[in-house]
Amino acid sequence: MTLNVKRKFLAIYVRVSTALQVDNTSLDEQVALCEKRALELGYSKDSFRIYREEGATGEDIDVRPVMTRLREDVAEGIISHVVCTHPDRFSRDLTDKLIVVRELEKNGADISFTDTEFEKSPEGILFFNIISAIASYELALIKKRTVRGRERAVREKHKIMPMRVAPFGYDKDENGQLVINTKEASYVRMIYEWYIFEQLTTREIGEKLYSAGIMPKRGESKSWSASSIGRILTSEIYIGKYYYNRRKTKKMKGKTTKSGKPQRSISYREQDEWIEVPVPAIVDEHIYALAQNQKNKNTTNKHIGNSKYQFLLKTILKCGHCGRTWDATTYSGRMDKETGERVKYRCYRCPNIAPKRYGAGVEKCPSQSLRAEILEDYIWDQIVKLVDDPSLFMEQMNKENGAGTEELEMRLQMLQAQAELCEKEKDKVKIMFRREVITEDEMVSDIGKLNESLDTLSIEINKYQMQLDNRQQNTMTLELVKGMFASIQSRLCSPETLTFDFKRHVITTLFDEIMVRFEPGPEGDTKLVVSSIGTFDKLFSQSQNPEIAATIDIGVRTQPQEVR
């Protein structure tokens, strides 16, 4: 007997949830059972389309690519019938299962199972819902048993879970326990000694490890980083303490990572829920405590250094060679004969002069450290020159800000009105569903389309609002600049009133970024080329002062020593 259908294909959907099941015959057995059922329905083998979902969770249908493809093919009219071994192959979650079944039926596809009957009669639907509820309950039980089994394995057998890769200094044995890797452990101890007794930085430690040919534990990178060395210096696992059940994860429904796996949110449990697992210690607790004290000292010293010295251009200097934000720091100069202490000098430098990743493929920036006062004095001199006659560029900037504003406001109002109509349409759809004018599936579909329209409108609204905000911000900035320039002119007559805070406020208002790069000079010296982005450039572009240059050249003949 040949079944006469308008659509060409019958879909066979099979799924297993673990890699272990993929390796054995579970999928093939499901396919064989479904093919037999399809032949009984009157379909020929050349009409079969097999959808194999390998190693996919049974909880969330939105993160399964094969299930998604099946639903799309049914919606496009390619599939006339779907055969599966059991409803829980669609999903173990009751709600998801009902959604899939209703969606397939709504799009004209019949459904058959090999392990149970499915009828559209009231009794058949009732039976389907019952077995679906049982499957959902069974999934909850499986989770509970799994959690209890893991906790028992951790408490009684000291298994380390979950941990795919052992920390540097350890290996995992066949029983899932951590054992010391003798060679790596010796370098863990060296890391602590270098940090505590020789007071090496993490950069210097990383360079030592790389020079010795010691690679990190994970295989994706052959370079050490400051964070990976920092973890070794702070993790309690090295003094024999590992904590299980410290974090809890929750799947974010419908969201996946870049690799296609379900996305999870992570939070920490209360400390009394943690399970402490003893592991072999590599570092003595006293040494570990010294490392934590050293870390606190380093943090404190860094904080004191940043608060003690003032930098006018901090956070806004960008490297013209590699794009990094320059650091504001100090270095030690010659010994002061009177105080017996080394003189501290302020300087700016690119952090890539001494990068925090060490090894192959990590390049140092070719820029140089620069005495802070050289650049700060020059930038302030440019501002003072610009203050002399602000009337010409102020007038021009006011004209530019006013042009086109009315048109932007009109377009924004139109988009906002469309968004309000979409929101009202969503409310109408919900009312129609409550009055049983439309089905739940129709409601979900209609609201989904309206949400897509709202997303598109939101992007456009934000774009126009941002343009208007920028124009408003420019106007506010210009008003601020007018008052600022008047204040600068006044304070220039009394230099003692030009405080650091005032200068810093002026500079951050006029400059968004200041780009710095070094170039060879014409006489064998080094030329520093400086350009900027922000209000200063807008003011400069309207200025008639020929003495102001778009790029600032400073001859640099002396090079400060590199800061560690």
Query: In this structure, what are the phi and psi dihedrals at residue 48, rounded to the nearest 5 degrees?
Result: -80, 140
* pTM metric for this prediction: 0.38
pLDDT average, residue stretch 88-112? 83
pLDDT average, residue stretch 44-56? 86
- Residues 275, 150: contact at Cβ < 8 Å? no
Dist. CA 137–CA 324, nearest whole Å: 54
Residue 547: band (very low, low, confident or very high) from pLDDT cuts 50, 70, 90 = very low
Domain boundaries, the chain: 9-141, 170-240+279-287, 392-479
- pLDDT of 213 reads 85
Q: Which CATH class is domain 9-141?
A: alpha beta
Q: How far is CA 107 from the centre of its chain?
A: 38
The lowest-confidence range among 113-122, 300-309, 340-349, 406-415 is 300-309
| 134-160 tens-digit pLDDT | 766 666 676 666 666 666 666 666 666
Q: For all residues of the chain together, what is the average pLDDT?
A: 75
- pLDDT of 136 reads 66
Helix (H, G, I), strand (E, B) or coil at 83: strand
The lowest-confidence range among 39-48, 284-293, 398-407 is 398-407
Compute, in degrees rounded to 10, the torsion defined by CA atoms 269, 270, 272, 278: 40
CA distance to 516, 528, 530, per residue, from 533 (Å): 12, 17, 11
The identity of residue 451, as a single letter, is: N
- Output the six-digit token pair for 354: 């001494």
Percent of the chain with pLDDT over 70: 66
| 431-468 tens-digit pLDDT | 888 888 888 888 888 888 888 888 888 888 877 777 67
- Residues 382, 506: contact at Cβ < 8 Å? no
